[in-house]
Amino acid sequence: MRYITLGVAFALAGCAATTYEVAVMPRDSGRIYTGSAGNVGGREGPISITIESKAYAGTWVESVPSYSSGYVSGGVGYWGGHHGGWGGMGGGFVSMDNPNGGLAKALLQAPDGSGLRCDLRGSPGGGSGVCRDDAGREYDVQLRPVAPK
């Protein structure tokens, strides 16, 4: 399972449906607000956060994957040896994790039209980030996978 971090990703791309617990704390207060984010196996998913009785909902979208894969060719060869002839290695598919995790952007809107914009970084084990509301108030974010029931 790969998460895009709400990355979403959200840190967030993946193979199976996963739910994440979202906790946000404003930088000018110690109060913690909660929400949830989902990954249904793609590079985007739903996210919702409630702050002071205002319910924001929207979608996170992966902007940088938490891993990359590709084909690598080339190798080491030699000529001669006990039997003569050429020997060596070929190529193959490889997958590499991004050491910084995946990145995602989340855009959420409340029923009154106000917005919350989040920049998220994540990996399959969770993530973090920052959200900003329309008034410029910033919130630190934590993302934790919810254990399957």
Element (H, E) at 47: strand 44-51
> Does the residue 39 lie in any domain?
yes
What pLDDT, on a 0 to 100 scale, did the predictor assign at position 83?
A: 56
Instruction: Tokens for 117, please give them.
Output: 């914009």
> Does the residue 122 lie in any domain?
yes
CATH number at residue 51: 2.40.128.120
> Does the residue 80 lie in any domain?
no
> Does the residue 46 lie in any domain?
yes
Mean pLDDT, to the nearest integer, of 139-147?
94
What pLDDT, on a 0 to 100 scale, did the predictor assign at position 111?
A: 98
> Does the residue 54 lie in any domain?
yes
Q: Going by C-beta distance under 8 Å and a sequence separation of 6 or more, which residues neighbour residue 84?
A: none
> Does the residue 78 lie in any domain?
no
Domain extent for 28: 18-67+100-145
Ramachandran assignment for 99, one of left (phi > 0), alpha (psi -120 to 50 degrees), beta (any other): alpha
Question: What would you report as the CA-atom Rg of the chain, rounded to the nearest whole angstrom?
Answer: 21
How far apart CA 135 and CA 110 sit, in angstroms, is 14
Mean pLDDT, to the nearest integer, of 16-38?
93
> pLDDT category, 12, cuts 50, 70, 90?
very low
pTM to 2 decimal places: 0.68
Q: Are 45 and 38 in contact (CB under 8 A)?
A: yes
Domains contained in the chain, number: 1
* The pLDDT of residue 17 is above 90: no
Instruction: Tokens for 23, please give them.
Output: 């906790």
Q: Please give the mean pLDDT across all residues of the chain.
A: 76
